[in-house]
Amino acid sequence: MIADNMMSEDNGERINPEREPFRFGRPGVECYCQHESGAAVIQLQFLINEGALVSALADDSVHLWNLRQKRPAILHSLKFNRERITFCHLPFQSKWLYIGTERGNIHIVNVESFMLSGYVIMWNKAIELSSKAHPGPVVHISDNPMDEGKLIIGFESGIVVLWDLKSKKADYRYTYDEAIHSVAWHHEGKQFICSHSDGTLTIWNVRGQGKPIQTITPHGKQPKDGKKPEPCKPILKVEYKTTRNGDPFIILSGGLSYDTAGRRPCLTVMHGKSTAVLEMDYPIVDFLTLYFQEPYAVVVLLEKDLVVIDLAQNGYPIFENPYPLTIHESPVTCCEYFADCPVDLIPALYSAGSRQKRQGYSKREWPISGGNWGQGTQSYSEIIITGHADGTVKFWDASAIMLQVLYKLKTAKVFDRNRSREDKGSAEVSDEDPFAIQIMAWCPESRMLCVAGVSANVIIYRFSKLEVTTEVVQLLEVRMQYELNDIESPDGGGGGGEQTSALPTPGASPQTSGPPSHPSTSSNNSDGGNIPCLKVRSTPLKQSPGYQVDLVVQLVWVSGEPPQQITSLALNSSYGLVVFGNSNGLVVVDYVQKTVVLNLGTVELYGSNDPYQRQPRSPRKARQPSGGLCDINEGSATSEDRCKSPTSDHRDNSFSRSRSSSVTSIDKEAREVISSFHFCETFTRKGDSTLTPCLYVGTSLGTVLALAVTLPPAGEQRQLQPVIIAPTGMLVRLKGSIMRMAILDSTGSQLSPVYEPWYEPNITADGEEREKVRKRRPVSVSPSTSQDFSESQYAVVCSEKQAKVISLPSQTCIYKHSITETSFILRADVVQMSQGMCLACFCANGHIMTLSLPGLRPLMDVNYLPLTDMRIARTFCFTNLGQAMYLCSPTEIQRITYSQDTCENLQEMLGELFTPVETPEAPNRGFFKVGEVAAGKASRSLAQHIPGPGGIEGMKGAASGVVGDLARARIALDERGQKLGDLEDRTAAMMASADSFSKHAHE
């Protein structure tokens, strides 16, 4: 449901049909509330210009929210016991809330005390005495725009009653033979319009009896013989808005002809002789017309979006939505969170993203402008990156309370989409997402981006401010095929099962993505319709400013076997290297020279020091799924399973992994999977005296191996001479799969990997050569020259069970901590806090823990959130300065903090939801001018009053609570030299009216 509060500049309303309301005001003002019961919200009513909101729920409870505080709270609740709530209405500046029920009765609630009045409009008094049939539930209540003492009541059966509150009787009754869904007044109060279940609209004169003055079937086919049009689908809601100098607007949802099967949901705008049918992407939940002297916009709440339509421009364009409602456009498959990014990064991404905006938006400003921004902000920039099932990558500005999308990258553009028309038609219902993003690696300083997809592909992107057309997309095809072996752990403990014995393949040379015969295609056809490896497009690719593809690396089918999914990924912009691994081994790619540097089986990393006894087995045995978070189903995986999206339903309902240390059942034939990487400049070998480039490799069996990296000199030589990478042996072994590795200096500060500063790649040759001779710039690392042997480093290694700190170059373990015995870690990150470094861990049992570095002393252990589904495991991540995030639902990102500094600043960052404005005079008060006749007392058993946690002692509900809030507001406003005399007078008048009503009602 949505509600407006145009007078008060409170926020407009968006309700998640599940249970959570989101209040949105001006861009940047946002609030999240939730009812404890979890019942669906069925209706909302603002107390206009009073900073309060009434919500009605499906569990027959009504709640009064105080919006005058940054964190809204419930002041009062009323729970109906004997009747079901179907509709609520609160007239402008009135303190009487009308509640219609399923039994056809209307009860009146005093919103000051939130207690029931004795005044009840019974259904049998509302309809004619001669009518014996029950009129059905109340579907509409509203007061005459010119006289609040006259209520129009719509019953589901088709009966409409004009009720006089003072005389307590019906003035007029209107009967139609079709069920009513909604009613709307003409602003003069002399006519009203009804929408019906047969797709018709009826317009009635208030004083006219019998038949409607006009019957309209907006989407019905008019027969030539003058008969009644064919019935259409129900019109669920209608609004009737007049203009100063022209025809009125009739706006409706539903009502389409029954022969429009498969057509998308529509909103119809009728203005004069023109009828515009506006198709929506999702089903319409509710809509609301914004009106100031004449209608100017329509706010449409969809099941998964919020759309605002501009009525003042020809063609009714939509406004560009400033709210972050698009995170669910395609399911999120992975997330990364970066805090304290370079200051020029957000403007660069925003500039590139602004050029992507669709044409055809309204030229006017976003019309919802309530509330004020918070005063506090973070002193550093934060960016969230989300990878999606359709291959999209989105960059979000998370520096403030609200997310703001900066830039959107569509990785699927790199590939040919050669599906047939039939396939395209069923794409929405397919659970297979061949372009889904599985892992992302990003270097904020160099702006290099690398993504790995579920179809065993890796795409490397550079950031450019210039548009370019790539004639041929550079492609590397890599063959990874290894024989399978058994493993026996030397310590007899929880060793894994299968392992790979390398059949090394020489590094692939660059290939164009033209028509080479992909092994995937032939293998796929012979194996009977499994998803093939994606085919890189062979036509020129126009690349807009932003991220532009530099190189595509694909694992190909070999001997009828599909490639294993990629489980780990890392890049280093200073070295010009990307490394990825799976259950077969690892591949290192030099994206500067567009060549494969290393293609190595896991067993070859150990050399002669392999701690496992591996027995030869048949190389054609059925392969087991890799240990990646997306392969969570038990048993062997078919080739189709390996190519399916991580968003498949069956993959979200279990969490058993083929890892030696998993708390679930252990597959004895699990393979050793490459689980993590870390580029660094360190003492690669034991006893080294100089820092050299190095790659640490972590495996699912808890082993950390080191590879020495030898780079050519910078400049022209880097383009010509090969990069040499050689294994140097095992660094350490831990219990459980390796999750995270990092290097600290001798003072305990983190040594971030070196990087290459960003430069514009699409420039002239002379400039390009100048840029390429730039020296790489280490961060927090002295240049790679001779260093005093006594100045050591620390290697931090965290597995899913324990953490160790290794002293370098001696390679001795100096600290060790067992993090969990009964569970396992889902995510671990080495993060920078204001007081130093720490290791942050999120455990599958819901605990968030932090350990000091390098001492591994426990700092915090909070039982925050148990693992309920794979979405949390796949998206949880930590970043610097005490921030973390995860997807708490398919459509919502939850950000959390464990930093005291951020907690103290959070209240200042929240926006103000309510800012009072001058209120115009109310229409004729009618019944309320005269006062209410004796009504008796309400039945105590009908509804139960529940004081809310947000109440203040001594406050008499919302209106009297408003008085207390006004008293506090007056102190603050008086300091600014403003007066509240008029506002207090009006408040006193409201209180007097309330007291008078209360006395008369209970005499």
pLDDT in tens, 217-264: 998 887 776 677 788 899 999 999 988 778 889 999 999 988 766 778
Judgement on whether residues 384 and 438 belong to the same structural domain of the protein: yes
Give me the mean pLDDT over the 330-352 stretch: 89
pLDDT, greater one: 653 or 376: 376
- Tally Cβ neighbours within 10 Å of residue 407: 25
Q: How far apart are CA 445 and CA 756, in angstroms?
A: 7
DSSP 662: -
Q: How many angstroms from the chain centroid is the CA of residue 410?
A: 18
- Tally Cβ neighbours within 10 Å of residue 821: 10
Q: How far apart are CA 718 and CA 701, in angstroms?
A: 35
- Asked which of 119, 152, 175 is the last residue of a domain, the reply is 175
- Helix H, strand E, coil C: the string for 371-394 is CECCCCCCCCCEEEEEEECCCEEE
The tokens describing 717, both together, are 């030589």
Alpha-helical segments (H) within 67-190: 123-126
Q: How far apart are CA 977 and CA 55, in angstroms?
A: 36
- Asked which of 175, 192, 225 is the last residue of a domain, the reply is 175
- Predicted local distance difference test score (pLDDT) of residue 451: 97
- Predicted local distance difference test score (pLDDT) of residue 615: 53
Highest mean pLDDT range out of 180-194, 261-275, 637-651? 180-194
Q: How many residues are given for the chain?
A: 1003
Kindly indicate the confidence band of residue 404, based on its pLDDT and cuts at 50, 70 and 90: confident
Give residue for tokens 């009064």: 64
Domain tally, the chain: 4
- Predicted local distance difference test score (pLDDT) of residue 796: 96
Give residue for tokens 């300083």: 445
688 lies in a domain? no
Q: Would you say 647 and 433 are in contact if contact means Cβ atoms under 8 Å apart?
A: yes
Kindly indicate the confidence band of residue 17, based on its pLDDT and cuts at 50, 70 and 90: very low
892 lies in a domain? yes
Q: How far apart are CA 875 and CA 885, in angstroms?
A: 8
Element (H, E) at 768: helix 765-772
- Asked which of 508, 543, 566 is the last residue of a domain, the reply is 566
**Residue in 990, 995, 908 with CA at minimum distance from that of residue 48:** 990
695 pLDDT higher than 90: yes
Give me the mean pLDDT over the 678-700 stretch: 92
Q: Would you call 77 exposed, middle or buried from its count of C-beta atoms within 10 A (0-12, 13-18, 19+)?
A: buried
Mean pLDDT of the chain: 76
3-state secondary structure of 143: strand
656 pLDDT higher than 60: no
134 lies in a domain? yes
pLDDT, greater one: 841 or 630: 841
- Predicted local distance difference test score (pLDDT) of residue 607: 75
Judgement on whether residues 62 and 100 belong to the same structural domain of the protein: no
525 pLDDT higher than 50: no
- Predicted local distance difference test score (pLDDT) of residue 718: 87
- Tens digits of residue pLDDT in 108-151: 999 888 888 889 999 888 887 667 788 999 999 999 988 888 99
pLDDT, greater one: 11 or 900: 900
Cα-based angle 630, 631, 636 (whole degrees, multiple of 5) = 165
Range of the domain at 468: 331-356+377-417+433-481+533-566
383 lies in a domain? yes
Give residue for tokens 């998964």: 304
The tokens describing 692, both together, are 């050299």
Give residue for tokens 């570095």: 853
Judgement on whether residues 71 and 157 belong to the same structural domain of the protein: no
Strands 474-478 and 546-555: parallel
Judgement on whether residues 64 and 110 belong to the same structural domain of the protein: no
Alpha-carbon dihedral 297, 301, 304, 307, rounded to 10 degrees: 0
Instruction: Produce one character per residue of 899-915: b if its CB has 16 or more CB atoms within 10 Å, e if not.
Output: beebeebbeebbbbbbe
Helix, strand, coil percentages (3-state) for the chain, rounded to 5, are 10, 40, 50
Judgement on whether residues 449 and 560 belong to the same structural domain of the protein: yes
3-state secondary structure of 162: strand
- Predicted local distance difference test score (pLDDT) of residue 31: 74
**Residue in 124, 147, 120 with CA at minimum distance from that of residue 135:** 124
pLDDT, greater one: 876 or 921: 876
Give me the mean pLDDT over the 560-571 stretch: 91
Q: Would you say 233 and 258 are in contact if contact means Cβ atoms under 8 Å apart?
A: yes
- Tens digits of residue pLDDT in 464-479: 999 999 888 899 988 8
Kindly indicate the confidence band of residue 621, based on its pLDDT and cuts at 50, 70 and 90: very low
| 87 torsion bin: left (phi>0), alpha (psi -120 to 50), beta (else) | beta
Provide the CATH number for the domain around residue 144: 2.40.128.630
Residues with Cβ within 8 Å of 516's Cβ and at least 6 positions away in sequence, in order, are: 477
Q: Would you call 168 exposed, middle or buried from its count of C-beta atoms within 10 A (0-12, 13-18, 19+)?
A: middle
3-state secondary structure of 794: strand
Q: How far apart are CA 767 and CA 853, in angstroms?
A: 43
Give me the mean pLDDT over the 199-226 stretch: 85
Judgement on whether residues 2 and 149 belong to the same structural domain of the protein: no
Judgement on whether residues 349 and 473 belong to the same structural domain of the protein: yes
Alpha-helical segments (H) within 793-912: 870-875, 900-909
Q: Would you say 886 and 875 are in contact if contact means Cβ atoms under 8 Å apart?
A: yes
Q: How far apart are CA 339 and CA 882, in angstroms?
A: 9
Judgement on whether residues 57 and 85 belong to the same structural domain of the protein: no
**Residue in 579, 576, 581, 582 with CA at minimum distance from that of residue 594:** 576
- Helix H, strand E, coil C: the string for 587-623 is EEEECCCCEEEEEEEHHHHHHHHCCCEEEECCCCCCC
999 pLDDT higher than 80: no
597 lies in a domain? no
Judgement on whether residues 468 and 381 belong to the same structural domain of the protein: yes
- Tens digits of residue pLDDT in 713-732: 988 888 899 999 999 989 99
Judgement on whether residues 40 and 93 belong to the same structural domain of the protein: no
Give me the mean pLDDT over the 386-402 stretch: 87
The interaxial angle of helices 981-1001 and 957-975, nearest 10 deg, is 170
- Predicted local distance difference test score (pLDDT) of residue 515: 34
Judgement on whether residues 166 and 26 belong to the same structural domain of the protein: no
Judgement on whether residues 43 and 168 belong to the same structural domain of the protein: no
Which of 268-282, 425-439, 617-631, 858-872 is the least confident region? 617-631
317 lies in a domain? no
Kindly indicate the confidence band of residue 458, based on its pLDDT and cuts at 50, 70 and 90: very high
**Residue in 323, 324, 325 with CA at minimum distance from that of residue 281:** 325
- Predicted local distance difference test score (pLDDT) of residue 339: 86
Kindly indicate the confidence band of residue 504, based on its pLDDT and cuts at 50, 70 and 90: very low
- Tally Cβ neighbours within 10 Å of residue 266: 18
- Tens digits of residue pLDDT in 915-946: 777 766 655 444 444 344 345 667 767 787 88
812 lies in a domain? no
164 lies in a domain? yes
CA-based radius of gyration for the chain:
33
| Overall pTM > 0.85 | no
421 pLDDT higher than 80: no
Note if the bond before 540 is cis, omega within 30 degrees.
no
Which of 351-355, 735-739, 993-997 is the least confident region? 993-997
